[in-house]
Amino acid sequence: ELKVEQNPLFLSMQEGKNYTIYCNYSTTSDRLYWYRQDPGKSLESLFVLLSNGAVKQEGRLMASLDTKARLSTLHITAAVHDLSATYFCAVDMNKLVFGAGTILRVKS
């Protein structure tokens, strides 16, 4: 059974700081997604990572995928308050298997 583990589960950080969220998974997959969810809202697609070594960047967020290590990272650069949300990784096994989510709080 595929397991997807995210850490940390909760992250409180100051504005302007950098941090990384990790997503480990237990079975081979070549496709991984990152989603953002604001409180009371649905999921917004951030990135799709399609192959080993893939790197995608959008604003202050950068995601990468290492399929050999079964690891994806979501790096936050110079955090701002607007990035406060819950971030989920999801591994594609012809259906999405989600991690537990990382609650990010950026403090002014």
Partner 1 sequence: SAVISQKPSRDICQRGTSLTIQCQVDSQVTMMFWYRQQPGQSLTLIATANQGSEATYESGFVIDKFPISRPNLTFSTLTVSNMSPEDSSIYLCSAGGLRETQYFGPGTRLLVL
Smallest distance, Å, CB 78 to partner 1?
27
Report the alpha-carbon distance of residue 78 to residue 12 in Å, rounded: 13
Contact with partner 1 (CB under 8 A) among 12, 45, 52, 57: 45
Report the alpha-carbon distance of residue 54 to residue 11 in Å, rounded: 25
Smallest distance, Å, CB 96 to partner 1?
6
Smallest distance, Å, CB 99 to partner 1?
7
Strands 43-49 and 32-37: antiparallel
Cis upstream peptide for 39 (omega within 30°)? no
Q: Which residues fall within 8 angstroms of residue 96, CB to CB, at 6 or more apart?
A: 33, 90
Is 104 a binder of partner 1 (CB under 8 A)? no
Which residues, numbered 68-97, are part of the site for partner 1 (CB under 8 A)? 88, 92, 94-97
For residue 81, give the 3-state DSSP assignment: helix
Is 26 a binder of partner 1 (CB under 8 A)? no
Of 12-20, 43-51, 63-71, 77-85, the segment contacting partner 1 by CB under 8 A is 43-51
Contact residues for partner 1 (CB under 8 A)?
31, 33, 35, 41-45, 48, 88, 92, 94-101
